[in-house]
Structure formats: structure tokens, C-alpha cells
Structure 1
Amino acid sequence: MQDYDVIVVGSGPGGEGAAMKCAKAGKKVAMVEAYGMVGGGCTHWGTIPSKALRQVISGLREVRDNPQFHDSADLTVSFPKLLRTAEGVIRRQVSMRQNFYDRNSVTVIHGRARFVDPHTVKVQLNNGGSETCTARQFIIATGSRPYHPPEIDFSHPRIHDSDSILRLTESPESITIYGAGVIGCEYASIFRNLGCKVNLINTRDRLLSFLDDEIVDALAYHLREQGVLVRHNEEAAGVHVEDNGVVLELKSNKRIKTDYLLWANGRQGNTDDMGLEALGIEPDKRGVIAVNENYQTVVPHIYAVGDVIGWPSLASAAYDQGRHAAAHLVDGNYRSELARDIPTGIYTLPEISSLGRTERELTEARVPYEVGHSLFRSLARAQITGQTTGMLKILFHRETLEVLGIHCFGAQASEIIHIGQAIMLQPAPHNTIRYFVNTTFNYPTMAEAYRVAALNGLNRLY
């Protein structure tokens, strides 16, 4: 039996952040990871592979749109070939992360952990046998997986979720994506830009309703412009596999037949068979664990972070949650709070990033706000690169000029957002739109969009 100060279960971003923080505080730490390599779902099935795919396709799209290369470039690429590119990125990520654990003397145990009592876990090792470990404190960071409705046969080669789609062995000619959340929209962009016919089935009345309405409208327009067929307010009635395809039947009596079905509707927390219920920790029906502001469960020495606690289910947020939980674990008086506003990054083509409140939220709260726009087609850098689709939108208070929200759609949106984030999260009076007017930006850059948008917004006041 091995004894540790802290045992972290799950080596995704949340678990890694927690383990590193505890180790650097002098704790004896063990990391239990069910998969054969560290990195969690983020590295092996989620963020890294899908964004690697998207990056290659984005590059191909730029070449296709540039008339100088039409006669000289091989513009055909298969989905399996793209996956091999992603595999190279994954290998480098795994090597780097394993090195983190080695350098910080964190013991990595590959197997599945189950609580025997509040301070003991039994790990069923991947190589056979078991190992019992004790610890004073635990951090659960087991992540989530795609939700599988019991009536759908996900073992059939024509039916996939967002994990198994990465094992596709051919480039489909057509695909139906059920679920138009972040994952569904991202894969719709990926497959459509590979030349695949895409049906995107949305169970709601609009795409990504948590985003600003203007950004959502832009996304919907560009998906349709690319050739994605989007159907709103639909609900699945059944799935049937035929010899030459799979049929999705909808309750509206529509039948949609394509080569493959990608089910991207919902996630499930990885809390099965962990022995949590015997400790008084009751995950909800989707496997999500409830925590307090310090990420403690109802058992105070057991913490939980990342996708297993639900919203916002972002790799970036999970890493910060892990560090926050570990800091509280090390020092019970830790009072620092995580940033109130977390930027979203949605890697469609074009990509989206957003921070703070939307126009709809500000209007409902009766906040006197104004809008500053910068259209990318007016920026010299965008004209040079040919990536002129998109805009930066700044929402600010009419009286105090405080920045209230930043919404970006277009090339490099997930990078551009951080300039505004740095200002938006400053204390008053340093968080106003005037910063962008009084700051010199390199020229030509996409960052210049902030100055253009700020001037546009201030001009509306006078």
C-alpha cells in the first residue's frame, strides 16, 4: 500500500494543473490515469486532435481561395491523412506532459481508481492486478465523454460520437451531425471544408444561443454560405442503418440519409463505478459532481474540477480550476477568486471568441451601453492575408466607458480576444474603451481592430 499527501484522478488540464500546483508546494502526489498515456480527453480525443484537424483544413482553404496557387498546389486531402497530422501533435503533447510529471516527482499510475473509503482508492491497473493507495486529500478530474442514448448502436461503423469520429478510415461523401453545439458546429466546418455534404441538425431554434446574436447570425450565414444545411427545432425519433448509409428519422417526419451519423448532443461526466455514492457524493443523472466555490465536494477533503463538474467545460477553465482547488487544498485560507469572465473559443471556420456580456443580456438588465464595430475587410492586415471575413465588436457603458463585452468572429478571433480581456478585467478606471484609442498598435495587424472599433463606438456618443 502506497501513501500520498494528494491523489489526483485524471490527467487532463484540470488534473495536470492541480498535480503541478500540489507538487510545487512540496506535497507527495500521485496521478491516476485510466488511459495508457497522460493528457486526458483534451489531448487524445477532444481539443488537440479536433483543432489540429481544423488548422490543416484552414490552411487548405486559404490556398484554395488564393488564385496564385490554383494551378500548382495539390488541394486534395483525405480525412485519415489529416488524422495522421493530428497524431503527431498528440505525441508531442504527451511527451511534454509526461516530462512535467517526471520533473516534479509525481507518480503516474495507469489504471482506474475506485474509492474504498474516504481516504483510500483501489486502482485496477491497465497491465493487470491492482494497487491500493491512501491519501489525505483527493482531486477528481476525470472529465467527460459523449452522451450515448441507449437506443442508438454506437458500435456500428456508420454511427460515431466526437471521440470515435477520430478513427474514421475514409473521407465520407456525406454526414449528418446531430447536435449543433460547439462540437457539432466545429465538425460541420471541418467536414464541409473537406468537400463533404453536411446536414447539421439543431434541437434548438438558433445556433449557440449563449453567444451574442450578431455573432450567431454571422456564423449561421457563413455555414450556409459554405454549403452546410442547417435544420433548427428538430428532434431525433430514431436511427436506422442501411447497407449504403445511415438514416436519421426526425419527429417532424423528415428522413435524412447520409454515409455517416455523428451524434454530438450532450456530454456525460466520467463518474461511473468510482464508489462516490458510498462517500455521500451523488453525481447527477449526467454524472456531474456538485462543488462549492473552492471546488470541494460534500466531503471537504475531496475536490473536483474540470468537465466532471459541468459548465463551462473548457480546457482553459479546467486548468485554472485545478490550480485553484490545489491552492485551497495547500492553504485552507486561500481566498483568491478565478476571473469572473472566461473567454470562449469556438474553432469553426471562421472561428469565434467571446468575453463578457452580450447585447441581449445588457438590454434585459437595462444597462446603457453602446457598440463599437471593426469590420475585418477594412483592416490592411486582413486584406494582405485575404482573410477579410469577420469583425470585432466591443460593448461598453455609455457613461463610464467601461468595457462590458467583447465579441469576435473571423481569423485569429481566439487570439485577438486576449488583448481586450487584459483591459476588461482591470479595475476601474483602467478598464475603459479609451485605452484602445490611446494605445499604439503595430501596423498592419489584426489587433488594430481594437482601435478601429473603439473609435467607431466613441463616435456614436457624440
Structure 2
Amino acid sequence: MAVYDYDVVVIGSGPAGEGAAMNAAKHGRRVAIIEEQEAVGGNCTHKGTIPSKALRHSVKQIIEFNTNPMFRDIGEPRWFSFSKVLNRAEKVMANQVMLRTNFYARNRVDVYFGSAQFKDQNTVLVKGTAKGDEELRAKNIVIATGSRPYCPPDIDFNHPRIYNSDTILKLSHTPRTMIIYGAGVIGCEYASIFSGLGVKVDLIDTRDRLLSFLDGEISDALSYHLRNTSVKIRHNEEYDSVIGDGHGVIMNLKSGKRIRADSFLWCNGRTGNTDKLNIEAAGLEANNRGQLEIDDHYRTKVESIYAVGDVIGWPSLASAALDQGRSAAADLVGADNFRYINEVPTGIYTIPEISSIGKTEEELTKECIPYEVGQAFFKDTARAQISSQPVGMLKILFHRETLAILGIHCFGDQASEIVHIGQAIMRQEGKANTLEYFVNTTFNYPTMAEAYRVAAIAGLNRISNL
């Protein structure tokens, strides 16, 4: 068996692993990365973020074509199958793989395709590579293996009509009806995608409102627009059984309800990918969700081993995972630019999309912080009218006395882009992070960014009358 020595070995080539490998290589370390799949990119590229967002973009374009009166001069509304829309996503995935493969080659990071298992805290066995089994030794090891859908044992995921959020990408037809169990971020995103394709969706939520971590007004807006696209939302429900037959799937709920659909999509919970790593040989153990415990420098209880990305749990976002990987590498090489990632904007790619950063109204109320609200509704902005995207709003929460910005919440087209303007101002020091910045700054017109000025003026008008 061939044995190779490295400074750093990274397990997993998703955003977290890529961030760690690239940063360590930039600091002159000899780096190897191990990927279980046939191409780099991890689940983010092949099963999660990239395919689902590419799907969403295509569906959004279909909706725009079918609802814009101007396009009736071109032809009648069109129906598109899921498999046809998925072809576009596969092209994006291929481009991402090519891009990332080049990253590793250019930075001289050795890539091993195979499954990783610990032999001890400094040695990893890579099984099934092109050359057979190979052994990698390193001073530091970074675990960035990501997560996968949690699949309860009482549901038959081998049934051809029962899917999870990974296997749904193998769907070869477009069902007429679908049950989505789990109304978290992934469930809500897929509810938007399939309802946009004309599928009648039942969205089963185990809680009393959608995405309860969001500002209440934003959550309510999402519920309204999902229902407006014929999504049936059922709150406070839990499944009793899910049974697939030759005609579809029947779900029995504990409340006594019975729902039948052509297909079933499970989107309720994820598990860290640690069960095949033989982490016990390295002196590690995972919790009951397969996740690893780390300190505030991404170190596990074994000092030489780091863990980043979905395998450590919150926030389980590709954006945060990349920065976590970079920070872990900064710590292990002794660089002075380490930072713990704890201020992460949400990006929820429903139709319309949602993004936010900072406190919600509910949190500020509970903490007894004197705040006020400035709002701008997209239907009143010229750019939204021009682009025929009038749905949504920008909401700024600010301190009533200091005018410091406490939270930014955006619902509507390009929300995940718009939020970053507010994020940049929130991070400034002193008076530079107050509402007055938006009032005293000239924005291009017409733009969506102008909504910040509109919301800021509205907020100042609310406190000028007190």
C-alpha cells in the first residue's frame, strides 16, 4: 500500500473542504483533499445548493414567461417537465466541477477520489482510489464531510415514488401531485419549485408557522405567496405512516388525516456524514445527529483534527462553510486573520426569495430594546415595476435613540443580493452604521438598492412624530 505524507489532509471537497484546502495551500502547506464522489464539489455542487438553485432559476423564468402578458405575442403559456428543467441544472453543475477541478490543479492540491477512514489521529486510509487503497499521513486533518438527509427507517426510500432531497434530483417525470414532509428551508424551496411547475403540493409542517427563525412578517409573507401558488400548508402535523403503492403514496398523519399523492418528498432533518469515517480510531465521537463538537477555533477534542461545515451543525450554509474552512486553515497554519463565523445572513431561495441578517422584531421585543421600523414596498419602486417584480419589501429595524441598524429583512426578487448592502453598513464602526447613512447617500435610480433610502426615510418619519 502506498503511503504519502502531507502537512494537511482535508476530507470532503464541498465549500468547507475547498476553503480549508485553498487557504492552507496559499500558506505554502502541502495539501491533499479526499472526495468520495466521482468529481469535486461535494454535496453542495452535486445534490444541494447548486442544483436546487439552478432549478429554481429555471422555474422562475418559466413563471415569468407564463404570467407576463407581453410574451403572449410570442406564444401561448408553456408547460415544462421537471427532467427538462433539470438538464439546465446539470450544465451548471458540470461548469462548477470544471472550475473547482482547476482550482486544485492550479494550487497543487492533490485530489484523491475514494472513501476515507481514520487509522489514527494523523493517518487516513483512502479506499477505492484509481490506484487501490492509499494511506495519507498529516500533521493536521480537517473533516469537512458535510451532511445528508435523515431518512427514518419506517419509510421505504427504495420505493420509486418516495424521495429525499438528494434523490429527488433523479426524478425523471413530473408528478401531478406531491407531498413534501418538512417545511424547513429545503422543504419550502422545493415547494416553490414544484408548484412553479404546476404540481399540486401538500406541504406538511411539524411546527405552527413556516421558518419560525424568520421575522414574523416575512414568514407570513412566504406563507401567503406559497398558498397563492396553490401550495396547501398543513401546520402542527406529524406522520404516522408513509405507504407507497403502484399508483402513488399515502401518508397517514397522527391527527387522523390521510393524504394521497403521486409522489412523496422527505425534507425533515439532516445527519452529519461521520458514520463511515471510523472516527473512533482518531479518538473522536459524534452526537446522535452525526455531528462533531468543536471549540471556537473549529478544533475537535483531538487538537490536530478540525471540523467545519455541515458536519458541525449550525448554520449549515454553503456560504458559512467556505469561511469556516478558510478560518480553520488560518488557525492551523498560525495566520493572524482567523475569525469565528457567527454573523451569517440567511439566504432562502423560495419564489420570491428571502434574506435577512441581524435581529427580528420578536427578538428585539423580548429583549426590551427600543426599536423602530422602516419599510419600503417593492410595488412602489420604479425598478421593481420596470422588471415586473412588484412582490416584496425591505424592512430595516433600528434603535429608536441611536439609529443604529439592528436588523435587515428582505422578501422579494434578488433579496439575497439586496441584503448585503445593509450587512455592509451594519458592520461599520461608530455612527457609520446608522440609518442616516441611507438617507445621506445618493443611490442610482432606478435600482432595487434605492429601497434602502425609501425605508430609511420612512423609519425616520416614524420617530419624528414621537
Taking structure 2 as the reference length, the TM-score comes to: 0.97
What SS does the corresponding residue of 1:393 show, helix, strand or coil?
strand
Kindly state the Cα deviation for residue 341 of structure 1 after the two structures are TM-superposed.
Answer: 1.9
Aligned to 1:125: 128
**After the TM superposition, which residues 17-28 of structure 1 pair with which residues of structure 2 at under 5 Å, given as runs?**
17-28=19-30
Aligned to 2:51: 49
Match of 2:179 among 150, 172, 176: 176
Alpha-carbon distance between aligned partners in 2 of 1:108 and 1:127, rounded to the nearest angstrom: 11
Match of 1:248 among 217, 238, 251: 251
Aligned to 2:387: 385
8 A Cα contact 1:270 1:308, kept in partner: yes
1:188 is the counterpart of 2:195 = no
Match of 1:282 among 282, 285, 303: 285
Aligned to 2:317: 314
Give the 3 Å change call, closer, same or farther, for CA 66–347 of structure 1 in structure 2: same
**After the TM superposition, which residues 418-433 of structure 1 pair with which residues of structure 2 at under 5 Å, given as runs?**
418-433=420-435
Kindly state the Cα deviation for residue 336 of structure 1 after the two structures are TM-superposed.
Answer: 3.7
Alpha-carbon distance between aligned partners in 2 of 1:278 and 1:135, rounded to the nearest angstrom: 15
Kindly state the Cα deviation for residue 222 of structure 1 after the two structures are TM-superposed.
Answer: 0.7
User: Percent identity among equivalent residues?
Assistant: 60
Kindly state the Cα deviation for residue 430 of structure 1 after the two structures are TM-superposed.
Answer: 1.1
What SS does the corresponding residue of 1:132 show, helix, strand or coil?
strand
Whichever residue aligns with residue 181 of structure 1, its letter is: G
Kindly state the Cα deviation for residue 70 of structure 1 after the two structures are TM-superposed.
Answer: 2.3
What SS does the corresponding residue of 2:118 show, helix, strand or coil?
strand
Alpha-carbon distance between aligned partners in 2 of 1:409 and 1:33, rounded to the nearest angstrom: 36
Aligned to 2:68: 66
Alpha-carbon distance between aligned partners in 1 of 2:34 and 2:338, rounded to the nearest angstrom: 27
Alpha-carbon distance between aligned partners in 2 of 1:149 and 1:339, rounded to the nearest angstrom: 31
Kindly state the Cα deviation for residue 127 of structure 1 after the two structures are TM-superposed.
Answer: 4.0
Kindly state the Cα deviation for residue 273 of structure 1 after the two structures are TM-superposed.
Answer: 2.4
Structure 1 runs, 4 residues or longer, greater than 6 Å off: none
Match of 2:11 among 6, 9, 12: 9
Alpha-carbon distance between aligned partners in 1 of 2:122 and 2:93, rounded to the nearest angstrom: 34
Aligned to 1:325: 328
8 A Cα contact 2:324 2:341, kept in partner: no
Q: Deviations over 1:80-111 (max 9, x none)?
A: 00111000000000000000000000000000
What SS does the corresponding residue of 1:284 show, helix, strand or coil?
coil
Q: Deviations over 1:129-185 (max 9, x none)?
A: 210110010000000000010111111110000010000010110000000000000
What SS does the corresponding residue of 2:114 show, helix, strand or coil?
strand
What SS does the corresponding residue of 1:160 show, helix, strand or coil?
strand
What SS does the corresponding residue of 1:237 show, helix, strand or coil?
strand
Give the 3 Å change call, closer, same or farther, for CA 296–339 of structure 1 in structure 2: closer
Alpha-carbon distance between aligned partners in 2 of 1:336 and 1:399, rounded to the nearest angstrom: 34
- Unaligned ranges ≥5, structure 1: none
In terms of mean alpha carbon deviation, does 404-413 or 118-127 score higher?
118-127
Aligned to 2:459: 457
What SS does the corresponding residue of 2:24 show, helix, strand or coil?
helix
Kindly state the Cα deviation for residue 204 of structure 1 after the two structures are TM-superposed.
Answer: 0.5
Aligned to 1:354: 356
8 A Cα contact 2:119 2:282, kept in partner: no
Whichever residue aligns with residue 43 of structure 2, its letter is: G
Match of 1:363 among 350, 361, 365: 365
Aligned to 2:215: 212
Aligned to 2:113: 110
Q: Deviations over 1:389-442 (max 9, x none)?
A: 000000000111110000000000000000001001111221101111111111
Whichever residue aligns with residue 277 of structure 2, its letter is: M
Alpha-carbon distance between aligned partners in 2 of 1:336 and 1:118, rounded to the nearest angstrom: 23
8 A Cα contact 1:119 1:135, kept in partner: yes
Whichever residue aligns with residue 438 of structure 2, its letter is: F
Aligned to 2:262: 259
Kindly state the Cα deviation for residue 68 of structure 1 after the two structures are TM-superposed.
Answer: 1.4
Whichever residue aligns with residue 129 of structure 1, its letter is: G
Match of 2:40 among 28, 38, 41: 38
- Unaligned ranges ≥5, structure 2: none
Q: Deviations over 1:263-322 (max 9, x none)?
A: 000000000121212333111011000000110000011000000000000000000000
Alpha-carbon distance between aligned partners in 2 of 1:248 and 1:366, rounded to the nearest angstrom: 43
Whichever residue aligns with residue 298 of structure 2, its letter is: Y
Q: Deviations over 1:371-402 (max 9, x none)?
A: 00000000000111110000000000011111
Kindly state the Cα deviation for residue 340 of structure 1 after the two structures are TM-superposed.
Answer: 3.7
Aligned to 2:377: 375
8 A Cα contact 2:328 2:338, kept in partner: no
What SS does the corresponding residue of 1:23 show, helix, strand or coil?
helix
Number of aligned residues: 461
8 A Cα contact 1:120 1:133, kept in partner: yes
8 A Cα contact 2:271 2:290, kept in partner: yes
RMSD across aligned positions (CA): 1.1
Kindly state the Cα deviation for residue 339 of structure 1 after the two structures are TM-superposed.
Answer: 5.2
8 A Cα contact 1:224 1:230, kept in partner: yes
Aligned to 2:402: 400
Q: Deviations over 1:197-217 (max 9, x none)?
A: 000000001100000000000
Alpha-carbon distance between aligned partners in 2 of 1:128 and 1:196, rounded to the nearest angstrom: 46
Alpha-carbon distance between aligned partners in 2 of 1:26 and 1:356, rounded to the nearest angstrom: 37
Alpha-carbon distance between aligned partners in 1 of 2:161 and 2:212, rounded to the nearest angstrom: 30
Q: Deviations over 1:197-240 (max 9, x none)?
A: 00000000110000000000000011111110000000010011
What SS does the corresponding residue of 1:14 show, helix, strand or coil?
helix
